[in-house]
Amino acid sequence: MKRKIAVEDGLRNISDYLKDEGYDVCSLKSEKNLNDCDAIIVSGQDDNFIGMSDTTTKTMVIDASGKTVEEVHNQINRNLR
């Protein structure tokens, strides 16, 4: 079963890399139920990345700022075992 990852717009390099690695990647803006995702990747540039200040999710959020695509991928793998 493919892991579903929501990626913030503007992180195309990460989206493309994860797609190449076999993940089901969707845009953070278009995903309606973040709890259906295995991870959320954000740039760390915007504290209100979902557009709502009261949104909560049990889904793992990874801040990609300062990380290579490989480091983000490794963090996903470590946390989703």
The answer to whether 41 and 14 have CB atoms below 8 angstroms apart is yes
In terms of Cα–Cα distance, which of 79, 11, 78, 71 is closest to 41? 11
**12-29 pLDDT, tens digit each:** 999 999 999 999 999 988
- Give the residue numbers spanning the domain of 48: 4-79
Asked if residue 39 lies in contact with residue 5, where contact means CB atoms within 8 angstroms, the answer is yes
Query: Could you tell me the CATH number of the domain that includes residue 62?
Result: 3.40.50
41-79 pLDDT, tens per residue? Answer: 999 865 554 544 445 667 889 999 999 999 999 999 998
Given a cut of 60, whether residue 32 has pLDDT beyond it is yes
Number of domains in the chain: 1
